[in-house]
Amino acid sequence: MWIVTAVLTMFCFGINNLIFKAISGKMMSKVHMQFFFYLIAFLLMVGYGSIKGFAPFNLLTIVLGAVIGILNANGNIQMTKACENGPASLTSPIISTYTVIPILSAALIFHEHISLIQWIGIIVMLGSAAVIQYSPGSTTGNINYMPWMYRILLSILCFGVLGILMKTSSHLQIDSINTLFCMYGGGAVYLIIQSLVTKEKWRRSEVKIGAVIGCFSVVGYSSYFFSLDTGIASIVFPIVSLSCLVVVLGSVLLYKEKMKLYQIIGVLTAIGGIVLTKI
């Protein structure tokens, strides 16, 4: 079941990334859209938590959840800024290597046992994620190297530490509803501060798109925590990193983009990697 929810997380994150791709270049603030999706997600968690009931809060839950939310928001911001300083086709595969950080932490810190075949599956999935997103036709002449690499490293650090903290929350058996409540609340506060600093113009369309992204985010992260609570984190993380599959396949269906041979091979090997992790 936990592999199913990990795949569901992959689809939710992929759909959100596809939405971001669809609205790129339309003069919408990424900070504002993230704020609205955090706000909508926070309100959804308030409603769900009120019905199902929250577990008792403590300082650790609040701080851990808020830091996860801030890291996720800042990681997305840094990734966007990295794309502004270099080609997205190179930026995305490099940033996707962040998955190695939580995978290693799950094995070294939390002592998860992973068989050789499962390790092969993990490596295949990570390689597939990079191959699917990479575009060899990209030119490096337009790269503003130092800012580009700086933003990439910050994004990798944010997403990598986020994964470790999510596994930590699961390991400490903190109620995922409480964590998500604090995550979206803390992230929303961080993003409103960011909007005051950047002073970008607010647009009504950002509310609508943010609301849609927020709904997918709630489903995605709820499934993510369930997978971490009941499954093997070292396998969950690379499955989630395959959200690029949804972006690539969605681009083929919606924008009639053609898949290159190496991308088709990447899709097939990614599926094979998932199968290997179940053996």
User: Tens digit of pLDDT per residue, the chain (279 long)?
Assistant: 888 999 999 999 888 888 877 776 667 777 888 888 899 999 999 999 998 889 899 999 999 999 999 999 998 888 877 777 766 656 676 777 788 888 888 878 888 777 888 788 888 877 877 776 666 655 555 567 788 888 888 988 999 999 999 999 988 999 999 999 999 999 999 999 988 888 888 888 888 888 898 899 999 999 999 999 888 888 888 888 878 778 777 877 876 767 678 777 877 787 787 667 655
Record the tokens describing residue 134, joined without a space.
């990479």
pLDDT at 226: 92
pLDDT at 89: 59
pLDDT at 201: 82
pLDDT at 93: 67
10 Cβ neighbours under 8 A, 6+ residues apart: 239, 240, 242, 243, 245, 246
pLDDT at 253: 81
pLDDT at 97: 75
pLDDT at 180: 93
Which of 203, 242, 244 lies closest to 31, judged by CA?
203
The overall pTM is greater than 0.85: no
Are 169 and 218 in contact by the 8 Å Cβ rule? The answer is: no
- Cα–Cα dist 34/213, whole Å: 8
pLDDT at 61: 94
